[in-house]
Amino acid sequence: MIDTFYFSPELTVSDLLGQWPQTIPVLLRYRLDCIGCRMASFDTLEEVMHNYGLAWQSFEADLRSAIQES
């Protein structure tokens, strides 16, 4: 159980959404298809970066600010 705000690239999408539902708007803003995706329990954030061609640093920063602002 990760209880700090540092996100590991190995975190699965479903774990991210389950533990931090505040990040849902971030995923929607990036136009990711993760919400409701059947592969959410398998795909890691690293794989999402690769699938969508995103940069980890800015994405992770956006996730963190979604938590801090909530």
Partner 1 sequence: MKNNFSVQSVDIRQLQNTPLFKGLPEADLLVLLKQSHPQQVQAGGFFFFQNDPTDRVYVLILGRVKLTQSGLEGEQEVLMQVIGPYHLFGAVALTQIPGYLVSAQAAEDSAAIYWERSEMMPTVSTNAILSINAIQMMAVHTQEFQERFRQMATQRVERRLANMLLKLASQNGVKTPEGILINMPLTRQDLAEMTGTTLFTVSRLLKQWDEKGLVISKREQVIIRYPHGLVIIAEDITL
Which of 8, 41, 58, 70 touches partner 1 by CB under 8 A? Answer: 41
Q: Are 43 and 12 in contact (CB under 8 A)?
A: yes
Among 21, 42, 61, 70, binds partner 1 (CB under 8 A): 42
Among 17, 24, 39, 49, binds partner 1 (CB under 8 A): 39
Q: How far apart are CA 44 and CA 58, in angstroms?
A: 17
**Counting contacts by CB under 8 A, is residue 10 touching partner 1?**
no
- Rounded to whole angstroms, how far apart are CA atoms 39 and 57? 23
Residues that bind partner 1 (CB under 8 A): 33, 37-39, 41-43, 47, 51
